[in-house]
Amino acid sequence: MSNEKRPTSFTASIRYDHRLYRQDVVGSMAHARMLAKQGIITDKDAELIGMGLNSIRQEIEEGSFPWKEDLEDLHMNIEARLFEKIGDVAGKLHTGRSRNDQVATDMRLYCKEAIGTTQEGLKALQAVLFTTAEANQGVVIPGYTHLQRAQPVLFSHHLLAYFHMLQRDRERFQDCLYRTDVLPLGSGALAGVPYPLDREFVANELGFREISKNSMDAVADRDFLVEYHADAAACMMHLSRLGEELVLWSSQEFGFIRLDDDYTTGSSIMPQKRNPDFAELARGKTGRVYGHLMGILTILKGLPLTYNRDLQEDKEGFFDTVDTILSTLGVFSGMISTLTVNTERAREAALDSNILATDLADYLVSKGESFRTAHGIVANLVRYADSNGKGLAELGLEEYKNLSPRFDEDIYAINADSSIASRDVPGGTNQRRVEEALKEARQILDRPLGVR
């Protein structure tokens, strides 16, 4: 075995960590400027290093950079190329830092950008939900519990439920940003460095809120990645739930909406079918994001301080989670903005008289009955109607009165519209309350996160 070539492909990370090249270059340039400011290297050396790094970034972006797997990672590839470009001065760049605090800095910079882009995607989808809700005010659909028709609601009220789910997601990512926005550079391999570094200067140059407090924690910490994965998992759960609703609503059994052809596919043998594949894939992709969350937790659970090579495995899952959530948010924005609502079919389903059973119980309460007794009366009424093959609206007044003398002619004034109108409480589906909710949603979209 000693004569065999070392299997660098197993330890190499360059095939995926090259995505950190911008963060690595920017971090190295800020480090070089700080070294010069502190008199650790000369201004001329720092300028030469900066020019070399800029040239390397240009090569990478043009696709001409000579990546070498035997150098294993992004950092060594860039450092080797810098030596080729500027000579021995390149060796001064690594003064006062380790790959341990370097990669931790790169990952935090990348995560900060990912959080911002994710929040933008969330806000864009919120705006689409808001616009669609606003355009469909007055559209009535059945609301469900246990996937059984429960009570009539406004379609716009239903969409705004997802608006607020996504708002919580945006706020969770904002919380994640606060803890990600900490500079580890200057911690060295684990114990700090024996040079008079100005870490606050580097933090300011790179846009970090503060510097890390403990060098050992700084190089070993990946909690910010755990948070991003957890926030992404919660967000994907919300998108999966919305995807399931779109699948149901667009089915022939429901028929409440029609998805645009760009977001459905045909069957290979059944020409009549329009499969909601994009919504279904969102449900499936949620599982891979959950998996990456469990992956990072498993990587970290057994690691002693400080850096261990296991931490190299934090990147692929993270990059895939970022790619997955961003693409899914984009698809949902397009899918919802182009769907059409079958208002008549939705209203017809909401006119099912049995869906008004709760309203009948409330009616009896308004006549002086206790709610629990009223609930039992209406339950018996529903069983009676079912056994006679009727809907509640088809029952005669005497049939109502047989179960409670409190029923009167005004029972027939109860319908889907009156049911919706009666939910006149903050957060309810009453038309006026939903109009207020739309105004509030617009204000949420217009104000910065964190302002309440």
Given a contact cutoff of 8 angstroms between Cβ atoms, the answer to whether 31 and 97 are in contact is yes
Q: What is the pLDDT of residue 272?
A: 61
Buried b (16+ CB within 10 A) or exposed e, 155-173: bbbbbbbbbbbbbebbbbb
Given a contact cutoff of 8 angstroms between Cβ atoms, the answer to whether 49 and 26 are in contact is no
Q: Which residues pair with 154 in a beta bridge?
A: 140
Tokens 């460095």 appear where? 193
| C-alpha pair distances (Å), 287 with each of 4, 85, 166, 293, 330 | 40, 45, 19, 10, 18
* CA pair distance 450, 171, nearest whole angstrom: 8
At residue 182, what are phi and psi to the nearest 5 degrees?
A: -130, 130
Q: What is the pLDDT of residue 352?
A: 83
- CA trace torsion 130, 134, 135, 139 (10° rounding): 110
Q: Which residues pair with 141 in a beta bridge?
A: 153
Going by the DSSP 8-state scheme, the letter that residue 389 receives in this structure is T
* CA pair distance 57, 43, nearest whole angstrom: 21
146 is catalytic: yes
SS3 call for 368:
coil
pTM value surpassing 0.85: yes
Buried b (16+ CB within 10 A) or exposed e, 35-47: bbbeebbeeebbe
Note down pLDDT in tens along the chain; length 452 residues: 455 666 778 999 999 999 999 999 999 999 999 999 999 999 999 999 999 999 999 999 999 999 999 999 999 999 999 999 999 999 999 999 999 999 999 999 999 999 999 999 999 999 999 999 999 999 999 999 999 999 999 999 999 999 999 999 999 999 999 999 999 999 999 999 999 999 999 999 999 999 999 999 999 999 999 999 999 999 999 999 999 999 999 999 999 999 999 999 866 555 566 899 999 999 999 999 999 999 999 999 999 999 999 999 999 999 999 999 999 999 999 999 999 999 999 999 998 878 999 999 999 999 999 999 999 999 999 999 999 999 888 999 999 999 999 999 999 999 999 999 999 999 999 999 999 999 999 999 999 886 55
Structural tokens at position 184: 């580890």
* CA pair distance 199, 211, nearest whole angstrom: 7
SS3 call for 151:
strand
Helices (H) and strands (E) in the chain, counts: 18, 6
Given a contact cutoff of 8 angstroms between Cβ atoms, the answer to whether 356 and 419 are in contact is yes
Q: Which residues pair with 257 in a beta bridge?
A: 341
* CA pair distance 46, 67, nearest whole angstrom: 24
Going by the DSSP 8-state scheme, the letter that residue 275 receives in this structure is B
Which of 336, 303, 302, 308 lies closest to 129, judged by CA?
A: 336
Structural tokens at position 435: 């109009």
Here the contacts of 46-49 (C-beta below 8 Å, separation 24 or greater) are 48/86, 48/89, 49/82, 49/86, 49/89, 49/90, 49/92, 49/93
Which are the contacts of 108, defined by CB distance < 8 A and separation ≥ 6? Answer: 180, 181, 182, 183, 184, 208, 224
Structural tokens at position 136: 């469909």
At residue 337, what are phi and psi to the nearest 5 degrees?
A: -70, -20
Q: What is the pLDDT of residue 268?
A: 53
Give me the catalytic one of 9, 31, 64, 146. Answer: 146
Which are the contacts of 341, defined by CB distance < 8 A and separation ≥ 6? Answer: 136, 139, 155, 256, 257
Q: What is the pLDDT of residue 401?
A: 94
Give me the catalytic one of 158, 229, 238, 267. Answer: 267
Q: What is the pLDDT of residue 1?
A: 45
Q: What is the pLDDT of residue 452?
A: 52
Q: What is the pLDDT of residue 413?
A: 93
Tokens 């990587």 appear where? 299
* Helices 431-446 and 99-135: angle between axes, nearest 10 degrees: 150
The domains located in the chain, with CATH, are 10-95 (1.10.275.10), 100-189+222-348 (1.20.200.10)
Given a contact cutoff of 8 angstroms between Cβ atoms, the answer to whether 404 and 379 are in contact is no
* CA pair distance 449, 452, nearest whole angstrom: 8
- Computed from CA positions of residues 95, 100, 104, 109, in that sequence, does the dihedral angle turn out positive or negative? positive
SS3 call for 268:
coil
